[in-house]
Amino acid sequence: MLNLNCRGIRVSPTCPLCSCRDETTLHALWGCRRLKEVTSTLPIDRAKIGGEGMLFFDFILGCLGCLDLAEICLLCVVFWKNWYDENQKVKDLNTVTAVNDVVGWSRIYISDFQDSKHPQAIESNQQRVGTVIWKPLKLGMYKINTDATINQMCKKVGFGIVIQNTTGFVMACSSQCICATFSPQVAEVEAILRGLQFARDSELLPATIESDVVVVVKWINEKSNIRADVGLILDDILSLINSMA
């Protein structure tokens, strides 16, 4: 708030959470008394790294001089998590970690990150992803790319469709928004159905469809008989593909 105020934006520089001091960067991430529960559980001696009256940059320099690498990592992730949680509160989202869990959450985050960088993890990830061989489209074919996005707060689902020819030239595109509360899988399947309908209506056929959701592609290729909500849309997709053949 203090930074915004200094840049001429008319907001109160006072911390809106404790109303005790100006909300500097260091106050928001470290000094505010509502964070005492977080910072007091850190295995870091507060007296060693200085108080709130410093510039954030000087504070970090001081930390680099007296903390080891693991402590610096933990401190940075706690900063980042505090910042993220504050933004979630401003947006009124219900995904904020309980204050006494922030340090534990940060430790798990660091551990997961380090595990993912381990040579064995990298190797297994590479095996999972496999080798993707790019193949150009056959002459006269079109490629339909689809994607879906969900806004749970507004209960809306958005669809994006792009159809390209063999040279990559965009022949048609569409963005659509509907009021719905779909699961991610239903939204992706619905996007594919809409992509196929769009290609048919635009007479851009024959076409191949591309989706980044492997399981959906598998269901379509295997003509899976699924009875859940996804199944109804899959039936529509399969009958549309049959009618185009």
Q: Which residues of the chain form contacts with Zn ion (CB under 5 A)?
A: 15, 17-18, 32
* C-alpha closest to that of 128 among 45, 55, 214: 214
The smaller minimum CB distance to Zn ion, of residues 30 and 159, is found at 30
The smaller minimum CB distance to Zn ion, of residues 17 and 99, is found at 17
Measured CA to CA, the distance from residue 159 to residue 175 in angstroms comes to: 6
Compute the half-sphere exposure of residue 191: CA atoms within 13 Å on the CB side of its CA: 31
Measured CA to CA, the distance from residue 220 to residue 233 in angstroms comes to: 11
Smallest gap, in angstroms, from Cβ of residue 60 to Zn ion?
A: 19
Q: Are 164 and 143 in contact (CB under 8 A)?
A: yes
Q: Are 216 and 196 in contact (CB under 8 A)?
A: no
The smaller minimum CB distance to Zn ion, of residues 18 and 172, is found at 18
The smaller minimum CB distance to Zn ion, of residues 20 and 121, is found at 20
Smallest gap, in angstroms, from Cβ of residue 23 to Zn ion?
A: 6
Smallest gap, in angstroms, from Cβ of residue 14 to Zn ion?
A: 8
Measured CA to CA, the distance from residue 50 to residue 186 in angstroms comes to: 52
The smaller minimum CB distance to Zn ion, of residues 15 and 213, is found at 15
Smallest gap, in angstroms, from Cβ of residue 44 to Zn ion?
A: 20
Smallest gap, in angstroms, from Cβ of residue 177 to Zn ion?
A: 39
Measured CA to CA, the distance from residue 161 to residue 146 in angstroms comes to: 5
Helix (H) or strand (E) holding 121: helix 119-129
